[in-house]
């Protein structure tokens, strides 16, 4: 992929964040039926999927989910430049990181991978803004101050849009989405591990559909 600028990254991330109110955050513990998991979420109205690089199955899962019609698959928990290379090779079309380092940002720009970089304070958000990143992940959302904190940032930093992740659930997602500087949230409640183990794809599709209905 050609190199990508901070502005192009921000434009792409805003486009992704506007697709659905929730980006499922997925920790894949086995590769079997991973396509079925992704297809259930897409069928339920959540086509943007974040597969976190926290297990040995993550890259294979990204490659499988990248084949799903209508799916948009990204790699989460990007930490190193090597993670970026592996994610792109697996078929990820965007990346997500818990924080941001110059090395990681440069690697994503060089690889042409739009990075939803994480911030958890006004200073971190301003540093990313200084580099041209106007769309950011807010992580860990609940532990870092929640919707109240994000709302307080909207006045001094109105040019930044956030996707809060970390402790977000169907119970508090509405509070985040009510903030003027939030377009979507990231959460794992739409794909509970128990349902994945039971291969209950109907339940996962239902949870996705209900989330879209309640939060749109």
Are residues 107 and 84 in contact, defined by beta-carbon separation less than 8 angstroms? Answer: yes
> CA-CA-CA-CA torsion for 94, 95, 101, 103, nearest 10 degrees?
-70
- Selecting among 12, 137, 183, 205, the annotated active-site residue is 137
Q: Is 50 a catalytic residue?
A: yes
Determine the 3-state secondary structure of 15 from DSSP. helix
Cis peptide before 140 (omega within 30 of 0): yes
The beta strands (E) that lie in 128-172 are given as 135-138, 161-164
- Selecting among 50, 64, 183, 205, the annotated active-site residue is 50
Q: Is 137 a catalytic residue?
A: yes
Given its phi and psi angles, is residue 152 left (phi above 0), alpha (psi -120 to 50 degrees) or beta?
Answer: alpha
Rounded Cα gap, residues 73 and 61, in angstroms: 10
Checking DSSP bridges between strand 22-26 and strand 135-138, what pairing results, if any? unpaired
Q: Which of 81, 111, 118 is nearest to 96 (CA)?
A: 118
- Active-site positions read 50, 137
């Amino acid at each position: 992929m050609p190199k990508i600028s901070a502005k192009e990254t921000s434009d792409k991330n805003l486009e992704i964040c506007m697709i659905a109110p929730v980006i499922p955050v997925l920790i894949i513990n086995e590769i079997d039926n991973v396509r079925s998991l992704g297809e259930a979420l897409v069928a339920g109205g959540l086509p943007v999927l974040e597969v976190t690089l926290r297990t040995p199955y993550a890259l294979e899962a990204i490659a499988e989910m990248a084949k799903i019609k209508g799916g948009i698959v990204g790699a989460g928990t990007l930490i190193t430049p090597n993670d970026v290379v592996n994610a792109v090779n697996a078929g990820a079309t965007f990346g997500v990181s818990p924080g941001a380092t110059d090395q990681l940002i440069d690697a994503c720009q060089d690889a042409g991978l739009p990075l939803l970089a994480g911030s958890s304070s006004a200073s971190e958000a301003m540093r990313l803004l200084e580099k041209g990143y106007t769309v950011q992940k807010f992580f860990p959302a609940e532990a870092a101050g929640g919707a109240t904190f994000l709302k307080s940032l909207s006045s001094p930093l109105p040019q930044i849009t956030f996707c809060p992740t970390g402790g977000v659930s169907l119970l508090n997602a509405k509070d985040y989405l009510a903030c003027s500087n939030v377009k979507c949230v990231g959460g794992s409640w739409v794909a509970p591990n128990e349902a994945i183990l039971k291969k209950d794809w109907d339940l996962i599709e239902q949870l996705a559909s209900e989330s879209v209905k309640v939060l749109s």
